[in-house]
Each structure stands twice: as C-alpha cells, then as structure tokens.
Chain A
C-alpha cells in the first residue's frame, strides 16, 4: 500500500520535473529539474529492489548535471548564459521526436511481457549485478567502457593547448601590458607617410614648374 503510493508519487514527480525542464527559462533550473526527475527514477529503482542501480543513478547524475550547468552557461552566446532564455528550439523536429519516442516506449510498456517475480527480502542484487557485469555481459560493458575512454582521450586531445599544428594559442598572443609597446609605432608610420606625401607633392610641383 505504502509502496504503491510512493511509486505513483515518485512517477508523478519524475514526470512533472521532466516537463518543467522545458518550461523554465534558467539553465541552472533546467539542469537541476532534470536531476530531480532522475532522482525520482532512482528512488523508483530502489523501490524495485535495485538499490545499487538507483543510488548509483543519483550519484552519477548529481555530478553530471552540475557539469552540464557549467558547460551550458559557458557555451551560450547571451551574456555568459546567465540571462533568462527559452529552453526549446526546432519545434517541429522536437515534437516529431517526442511523439516517436513516446509511442515506442508506450508500445514496449503495453505490449511487453513483463515477468511477475517478487524478490525475496534477503536477495541482494548488488553481488548478482557484479557477477553479471563481469560475467556474461562483460564484453558489452568493457566495449562501452573502452569507447567512452577513447572519447574522453579524444576530447582532451582536441582541447589541449598543443597539437599537430603547434600550440592552440599560437597567433593569438595577448597584447603587451606596457602602453608604449603598442602606442609607439603609430606616430612613426604617420611621419613616414606624411614625408612620402610631401615628397610626392614636391615632385609634382617640380614637374609642373618645368612644363611651365
């Protein structure tokens, strides 16, 4: 009874916060509403006796959503991503993708054949999960792990300062701090140009004089 109330409440909380992600106008609120949605799903997993998966979901998402806030704020064009802005774009494609994915998941939910095996109280899923991850499913998870590691190394290589074509900051050296270093060449070029101009005028006058 309590479990039913809790699971429906958590499901409602998850859906509500997921909906609010797209209705808010703040990067930070969007990311942390998504975290609230994930946390509700994590609590649902705990109710389903998958304590380890539920807690790890919260553990991972807490860090990831915070990193997402920082990156979203960094990459926004409007002043540092700190101003209010809309969280939705490309409406037609988004609506189409939403309908397709909802239909797909609903189809699995309605047409799927779920087993009905209540877990015994003393069953701990953590060790079973460990044997699964390092047993039958090892190839899948190790491949995924190596792929993610390669992605991370690639991202670091792309963003690091040094590369095949020299330092990433080459040609974009900061201006000198002393004012003379940048200010002094300007009068010198002006003087040269004026001198050249004067000489040219003089030549023209001279030529005219000869012709006259």
Chain B
C-alpha cells in the first residue's frame, strides 16, 4: 500500500480533476435553476454541463488578428496543471497523497502564485481590448488577495509546526482549525473566491467585459479554460477542507469519503454566491483587500501564533 500510494493518489488527482470540475458545473447549473425558480433538477443539472462541453469541443475555433499564439496555447493547460499540482500535495487520506512533501503549503503557494501568470497570458494572448483589460484587472486583484491568502494558510500551519498538508490535518485530530482559528476559514474562502475568480469576484472574466480574458475564446480552447477555472475552485475547496475542516478526519466513514464530503460542502458555499451576490467592482475589491482582508489575516496569524506558543510551552 505504502509503495503504491503515490500511484493510487495520482489516479485520485486525475479523478478529482474530472469529477470535481463536473461537480462544480453541476452545482452551478443546479443553483442557477433554484435561484431562477425552476426548482432542483439534479439529473438535468448533471447532464447539462456534459452537453455544453460536447458542443464546445465540436465547435470551430475562432481566432483574432495577430494573437500571441504560444501564450494562448499555454494559458489554459497551465491553469489546469496548476490546479493538479496543488491537489498533488494534498492527502486524500492518511499517507494517501501523490507527494505529501514537508513543504506542501509552499508548493500550493507557488502553484497558486502562477495562476496570475496563466490568467495574464490568457488575457494578453488574443491581442484584443476586453481580454487585456481582464488581464490587468486580475493583476490588481491578485496583488490584493495573495498576501492575505498565504498568511491565513500559515496560521493553519502553526498548530502543526509543519508546512506539510498531512501534518496540518493530523494536528486537527483534537480540534479542527475552523474552531481554533474562527477567522481562518471565512478569510480563506473570500481570498479563495478571488483566487479562483469565481462568482462575485469573477472580475477578469466578468460579464461586464463581455467575458474578459475569455471574450475571444471559442471551441476547445474555451472548454479547457472553463474546466481549468473549475479545477482551481476544486483545489481551493480541497485545501480549505484539509487546512480548516480536518481533511480526512471523521467518525465511522473511511477517510477519503470525509475528504470528498467536506470538499463538496465547501464547493456549495463557494458556488452559491455566484447566483445571489452581485459582482464587486475591482477598485472596491482592491480597497477591501488591503484595508480589511489583509489586516484581519494579520490578526488571524497573530492569534494563531499566540495560541501555538501557549500550547507548546
């Protein structure tokens, strides 16, 4: 088991990327239906994304005048690969990870920092106005949430005394971080929504920019890009489940089931605002990021440090 665990986990990461993105699309369609008063039709909501994906895959690609072709080719797969890299450091159960490295949280941070590169490439490449504005928007957005995101995660790592995601989960065997650090999960979910540019913070790909960085995308390229966006959301929810909700820990049921259940619950929390909360303007989010999100995350990491020092001595 221990020798084959990384291989099993690699299959698990692939399965998580496929089923996770499908789950996000299903949830999104289902919530949209409920909000629109059409009622909950889970089967229809599960099939609709597959139909949309098949349509996109078969559609003729449209290009622009003198695009940056290599950047356009790289952007979508890069975003998808970054979500996969983030999931690879994440244990599904005790010892069941592709690579539960001692610096797992730093690996996650490096992958999520490169999200900014992928989005910028995707907005720059078409040589078109709206995508370029979307790219610049995401730079402003990323600079505003990034420090807070990493500080909150450092707070979650303090009780474990380790940057490894497995150790962080194990340190929550007595008390989950969501209770120990009440600020942690809400702040991470706000920063994670910004990182996944989803719902009210889908500013680089916003409707007000006719689709933003994806305004000129079509066919398979658009399918890869949308899948990659959903995959980043899945990675955000999974890391939140591991760092704040105790990952695989839970009674009766086996570990992976708990991990999947917690991730799905967090996905619901992340997807619902897309249909009930209005879009935030970028300048408002930047002000919020620097004047509220960052100070609160400093308070969170300071309080976590004080608690960690008191319990260790």
Residues of A within 8 A of B (CB): 26, 28-29, 32, 35, 42, 51-52, 55-56, 58-60, 62-63, 65-67, 69-70, 124, 126
| Residue contact A70 to B136, C-beta cutoff 8 Å | yes
- Count of A-B contacts judged by CB separation below 8 Å: 60
> Residues on B close to A: CB < 8 A?
68, 71, 101-103, 106-107, 109-110, 113-114, 116-117, 120-121, 124, 136, 139, 142-143, 146, 163
B110 near A56: Cβ-Cβ < 8 Å = yes
Asked if A59 and B106 make an inter-chain contact with CB atoms under 8 angstroms apart, the answer reads: yes
Q: A28-B68, A55-B103 are in contact. Are A62 and B136 (CB under 8 A)?
A: no
* A10: min CB distance to chain B, Å: 16
Determine which of B103, B106, B120, B146 lies in contact with A69 in the assembled complex, contact meaning CB atoms within 8 Å. B120
Chain A residues, CB < 8 A from B103: 51-52, 55, 126
Contact (Cβ within 8 A) B114 A58: yes
Closest A residue to B74 by beta carbon equals: A32
Q: Give the shortest distance, in Å, between A183 (CB) and chain B (any CB).
A: 32
Smallest CB separation, B191 vs chain A (Å): 15
The majority secondary structure among interface residues of chain A is helix
Asked if A28 contacts B107 (CB within 8 A), the reply is: no
B117 touches A62 (CB 8 A): yes
Complex contact B102–A55 (CB within 8 A): no
State how many angstroms separate the Cβ of B132 from the closest Cβ of chain A. 8
Which of A29, A42, A55, A126 has its CB near the most chain B CB atoms (within 10 A)? A55
- Is B110's CB under 8 angstroms from A58's CB? yes
Closest 3 CB pairs of A and B: A62-B113, A59-B110, A58-B110
* From B68, B101, B110, residue with most partner A Cβ within 10 Å: B110
